[in-house]
Amino acid sequence: MIDRDEFEHGGQEAAPIDMLAAYFDAHGWTYEHVGEDEIVGQSQGSWAQYELRAIWRDEDQVLQLLALPDIRVSDEQRPAIHETLALINEQLWLGHFELWSSSGIVLFRHGALLGQGGTLTLDQAQILVEAAIDECERFYPVFQFVLWGGKTPSEAIAASLIETRGEA
């Protein structure tokens, strides 16, 4: 496991789950190892508390990172959310949002192919985690407008992604 001093000096590499544990620890986030190849942490965002779950598949050298923004979708709301997911995913460069069919939970998922050696750098950990949280923060209002605001997916995206300029 990488210690806090090594973490703060950057440029280090470690096994993916160990590096994420060090990253979570350095940010003061609660986390637990679910197994040798899985970690679950919590991060407070502007809109919600996010569960961050990372799973390492050594045989494929792939780290899968899930961010769950605690959005649950009822059966009758699923068609609108599927349309919303399609419109949102068109705008993403890395990762995607999806709806778990068994539970109705919306999540952000990204898989990172780490290659031979299977190590994760501090910079990679930061990029993966921050990208997942940033996308959840960016699109959380869209889901809320569709689920609770009575907006269509197109209206919700238009209302949520207005960029403000200047100062109030």
For position 69, which CATH number holds? Answer: 3.30.1460.10
Least confident of 5-14, 47-56, 126-135: 5-14
Write out pLDDT tens, residues 85-134.
Answer: 999 999 998 999 999 999 999 999 999 999 888 899 999 999 999 999 99
Read off the pTM.
0.85
CA separation for the pair 96, 110 (Å, rounded): 7
Q: Is 164 domain-assigned?
A: no
Is there a domain that residue 107 lies in?
yes
Residue pair 22/31 in contact (Cβ under 8 Å)? The answer is: no
Instruction: Please state the rounded mean pLDDT for residues 72-89.
Output: 96
88, two tokens? 């949102």
pLDDT given for residue 164 in this prediction: 47
User: What is the predicted pLDDT for the residue at 21?
Assistant: 95
Flag whether 63 is in a domain: yes
Query: What DSSP element (H or E) covers 29?
Result: none
Beta-sheet pairing, 31-35 with 38-44: antiparallel
89 is a domain residue = no
Which pLDDT belongs to residue 161? 73
Domain range enclosing 35? 4-75+94-137
Task: Tell me, yes or no, whether 69 lies in a domain.
Answer: yes
Domain-located, residue 16? yes
Domain-embedded: residue 160 = no
Percent of the chain with pLDDT over 90: 79
Q: How many domains does the chain have?
A: 1
What is the C-alpha separation between 153 and 163, in angstroms, rounded?
18
pLDDT at position 57 over 80: yes
User: Is 168 a residue whose pLDDT tops 60?
Assistant: no
pLDDT at 156 over 90: yes
Residue 117: the pLDDT is 82
Q: What sign for the dihedral angle of Cα 27, 28, 32, 36? A: positive
Residue 121 in domain = yes
pLDDT value of residue 31: 97
**C-beta of residue 98 within 8 angstroms of C-beta of residue 73:** no
What's residue 163's pLDDT? 53
